[in-house]
Structure 1
Amino acid sequence: MKQTLTAAALLAACSAFAGDVYMGAGLPGIQLGYAQPLSDSFTLRADFSTLGRLHRTRSDNNLDYDTKLKVDRLGLFADWFFSGNWRAVGGLTLNRARADLRGSGNGSTITIGNTTYVAGPGEGFDVDVKFPRAMPYLGLGYGHKGQAVKGWKMAFDAGLAFGKPRVSGTVRGALLSQAVSQADIDRELADIRDDANKLKGIPQLSLSVSYRF
């Protein structure tokens, strides 16, 4: 909510200048932003993107993971136009990006690490995956050029906010808490961490419609 209000304040503060208000969709979600040209070659931008709240399920090592995912992002960008409307983009994203995985057994047993355990009612293994709050961004885009005429335009962005997620996990339930070894917890988290680290960050691939004042 705080990030949304910040983005709205930026739009209101810039509305008196000759820039682009834009709305888009793609990764990382629905987007609202403002682009302020400084010259024919440079533009500053700020936008807010959100995926909302997503719910997914997955299975791994006899664990059924109920996953809740949320990605909210405030981006601050500088565009350099190197060829016509094509631009190189650098900046910083401020993120609230995490996945909460609640793992429960497929039946009477669950496998954590290399060991199978008996799980009582309400027992399982829960994992949190969190990206850093602040991440550098590099990308390539098209549109929002300073010399553009008034009216409606299209813009495109592709890039990556760089940052490795932090993975942590806890055993849920009195019986499992006493039985599960730390070595098995570490092995289970290492498997999940290997999958999470393949992302290398939060990607952007979005198409937007802008209006030039």
Structure 2
Amino acid sequence: MKKMIAPLMLALIAGNSYAAGVGVRAGTTGLGGDVAWDIFPTFSARVGFSALNLNGTVKESNIDYNARMKLNNLSGLIDWHPLGPFRLTAGLVASGNKFSLKGKPTNGNFQLNGNTYNADGVVINGDVKAKNRVAPYFGVGYGNVSGAGVNFYGDLGVILQGGAKANLNVSCGNLPAAQCINIRNDLESERRKLEDGLKGFKAWPVLNVGLTIGF
């Protein structure tokens, strides 16, 4: 039996061409790319990175917020191709996706948690990010990054980030210490409300498309 195993393995390796490739892509995880290589027949490994920063403004009551969405994802994936170009994909993603805000009241007073405060020098900061910095990924896709030539590829799946956590803090400027304590208490109430509203956000949707060059 042992004498048969070695020739069988050599025949398997010789009968299959192992390749590698690179891909560039864009989608809900940002702009980035992948490096992939064959590991077994119908199986390939893939390492990828993507990032993107988007800036904007949000107005809430009389507070103007500078908003920023930062996408940052490093992935290690295994692709299984049971049906030609169609595949199943699983792996891990180190995700730094974050939404941040910096707000300043636009007139003499502002409201927080139903209470009114003087806006003298007040600055409110906050961010929302995933609970799990390293999270499992599951999805389906089309195309092989390690396939020969120039090809299209796409991914549809989810990063199971386990929900989101919110942080809010305030710089009280010239306000009296007692009023600053009240603002921070109200801000903490707002933070808990925000985090409760994000409990259902346990998966980051992934939809990416790109082009590959294999060799």
- Indicate whether the TM-score tops 0.5: yes
Give me the whole-angstrom Cα distance separating, in 1, the residues matched to 2:64 and 2:177.
18
Give me the whole-angstrom Cα distance separating, in 1, the residues matched to 2:145 and 2:98.
34
Q: What is the CA deviation profile of residues 72-109 of structure 1, one whole-angstrom value per residue up to 9, with x for unaligned ones?
A: 11100011223332112111111222222112213222
Question: Counterparts of 1:166-177 in structure 2 under 5 Å?
Answer: 166-174=165-173, 175=175
Decide which of 149, 162, 171 is 1:151's aligned counterpart. 149
Give me the whole-angstrom Cα distance separating, in 2, the residues matched to 1:78 and 1:103.
42
Percent identical across equivalent pairs? 27
Mark the runs of 5 or more structure 2 residues left unpaired by the alignment. Answer: 1-17
TM-score between both structures, scaled by the size of structure 1: 0.80
Q: CA deviation at 1:21?
A: 0.9
Give the RMSD, CA atoms, in angstroms.
2.3
Secondary structure of the residue aligned to 2:190 is: helix
Give me the whole-angstrom Cα distance separating, in 2, the residues matched to 1:18 and 1:127.
46
* Aligned length in residues: 193
Secondary structure of the residue aligned to 2:188 is: helix
Check conservation: 1:27, 1:203, Cα contact below 8 A.
yes
Q: CA deviation at 1:123?
A: 0.7
Question: Counterparts of 1:29-68 in structure 2 under 5 Å?
Answer: 29-51=30-52, 53-68=53-68
Larger CA deviation: 42-51 vs 124-133? 124-133
Check conservation: 2:112, 2:183, Cα contact below 8 A.
no
**Structure 1 counterpart of 2:4:** none
CA gap 1:31/1:118 in 2 versus in 1, 3 angstroms: same
Give me the whole-angstrom Cα distance separating, in 1, the residues matched to 2:133 and 2:78.
19
TM-score between both structures, scaled by the size of structure 2: 0.79
Secondary structure of the residue aligned to 1:200 is: coil
Q: CA deviation at 1:34?
A: 1.1
**Structure 1 counterpart of 2:159:** 161
**Structure 1 counterpart of 2:202:** 200
CA gap 1:177/1:198 in 2 versus in 1, 3 angstroms: farther
Secondary structure of the residue aligned to 1:107 is: coil
